[in-house]
Structure 1
């Protein structure tokens, strides 16, 4: 495979990977995590292919094999778009992780606080207090990074 054909393949993979990450950000923003599973496996496969082609381009090429300047410039521009897409993707994933952590902390806090003391009204219409303790014991939450 020539260096030019490797660059052309890398450009195609980069475009598909950028589109995949943009779709992932869109799904995260629209709160559709159920659709992310297949997309993430596609993203991993594309990332592996990207890594393989990028490493192959680092191999020394014969001096007779020159790469067209237009193709080289396309690769530079695609790499810049790719880096921007990676940053957007990372921001969206971190934001979703932060939201999930806050929700889990709120749930744990709600489970840990004692049950409300007021349980209802007596026959005279006066608020009564519960003599019971909270029914819930300690709770642990599994966290994934």
Structure 2
């Protein structure tokens, strides 16, 4: 039996499949939000393949439902309500995920900027240049602070 025939004969089967897919996607995205908030970015990589698989299944399932909108007229009201509820929950989770991603991105950008500034400050402190007298500027500044007023008699 082909998928198209199966869907047309039993749209409830496809709706149940979409509902299960959405629930799985919400679960994965909720875990992703938790990892983002905990700044455990490396662990998110493990979720990406599962998320991609679920997104593809969701796209396929919903496109099949969109291609035959008449089934909604005959769909059990409880199943229709459950479908709406999980889609609404998915929309909320997607917004939370987006917010967490933006926050993590902003935080990482600030951290990187702070690191760059610290490195630049350290470089400027350690950079050496020579004065007009051929003395290192850092040594010249240091000796100016610690020098004592004394004159050496060079006649000896």
The normalised TM-score by structure 1 is 0.74
SS at match of 2:124: coil
The answer for the alignment partner of 1:111 in structure 2 is 119
Deviations 1:97-122 (A, max 9, x none): 111111111122222335337xxxxx
For 1:99 and 1:8, locate their aligned partners in 2 and report how far apart those are by CA, in whole Å. 39
**Unmatched tracts of structure 2, length 5 or more:** 1-5, 127-136, 140-156
SS at match of 1:31: coil
**Richer in helix (by share):** 2
- Asked if the contact 1:29/1:92 (under 8 Å) is kept, the reply is yes
Residues 59 and 32 of structure 1, relative CA distance in 2, 3 Å threshold: same
- For residue 25 of structure 1, the aligned residue among 30, 33, 39 is 33
For 1:54 and 1:28, locate their aligned partners in 2 and report how far apart those are by CA, in whole Å. 28
For 2:34 and 2:138, locate their aligned partners in 1 and report how far apart those are by CA, in whole Å. 48
Shift of 1:66: 2.2
Shift of 1:19: 0.4
Q: How many pairs align? A: 120
For 1:78 and 1:20, locate their aligned partners in 2 and report how far apart those are by CA, in whole Å. 14
Residues 109 and 30 of structure 1, relative CA distance in 2, 3 Å threshold: same
Shift of 1:40: 1.5
- Asked if the contact 1:3/1:61 (under 8 Å) is kept, the reply is no
**Richer in strand (by share):** 1
Mapping of 1:1-145 within 5 angstroms? Answer: 1=6, 2-60=10-68, 66-113=74-121, 114-116=123-125, 130=138
The answer for the alignment partner of 2:129 in structure 1 is none
For 1:76 and 1:37, locate their aligned partners in 2 and report how far apart those are by CA, in whole Å. 30
